[in-house]
């Protein structure tokens, strides 16, 4: 397996919360924690909340359709669940993801 880096987009086997099995989904790697990764869901749906970040450079990132990073949908996945790399987020899109994270992602307690 090739090394995984934050800022990369991968196709991952994301397990259903019901435990009924996984689904292959694009994800954005946010950070690594040992043998695990923390990822955000990537969807073709239009943004619907302040924590959804539309990717301007989705084609350059290796995605097939216009996509949104959903920072409200985080998963901790073993690195072995990342199947293949699609590409990397652009510097401009990365700055936007970081800005939205700083403004809107915080514990609610």
Reply yes or no on whether the pLDDT at 1 is more than 70: no
Give the model confidence (pLDDT) of 37-93 as tens digits.
999 999 999 999 999 999 999 999 999 999 999 999 999 999 999 999 999 999 999
Residue 101 DSSP SS3? helix
Reply yes or no on whether the pLDDT at 109 is more than 80: yes
Tell me the average pLDDT of the chain.
Answer: 94
Indicate yes or no: pTM above 0.85.
Answer: yes
Residue 77: which residues within 8 A CB-CB, separation 6 or more?
12, 14, 27, 36, 37, 39
Cα–Cα distance, 21 to 1 (Å, whole number): 22
- The CATH number assigned to the domain with range 8-104 reads 2.30.30.110
Helices first, then strands: H and E counts in the chain: 1, 6
Q: What's the N-to-C CA distance of the chain in angstroms?
A: 39
Reply yes or no on whether the pLDDT at 15 is more than 90: no
Q: Which pLDDT score is estimated for 73?
A: 94
∠ CA(15), CA(65), CA(39), 5° rounding? 35
Cα–Cα distance, 67 to 46 (Å, whole number): 7
Rounded to an integer, the average pLDDT of 95-109 is 92
- What are the backbone dihedrals phi and psi of residue 17, each rounded to the nearest 5 degrees, phi first? -65, -25
């Amino acid at each position: 397996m090739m090394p995984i880096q934050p800022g990369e987009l991968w196709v991952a086997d994301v397990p259903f919360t019901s435990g009924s099995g996984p689904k292959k989904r694009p994800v954005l790697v946010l950070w690594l924690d040992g043998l695990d990764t923390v990822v955000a869901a990537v969807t073709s749906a239009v943004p619907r909340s302040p924590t959804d970040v539309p990717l301007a450079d989705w084609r350059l990132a290796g995605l097939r359709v216009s996509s949104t990073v959903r920072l409200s949908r985080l998963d901790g996945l073993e690195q072995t669940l990342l199947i293949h790399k699609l590409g990397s987020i652009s510097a401009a899109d990365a700055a936007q993801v970081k800005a939205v994270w700083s403004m809107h992602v915080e514990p609610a307690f």
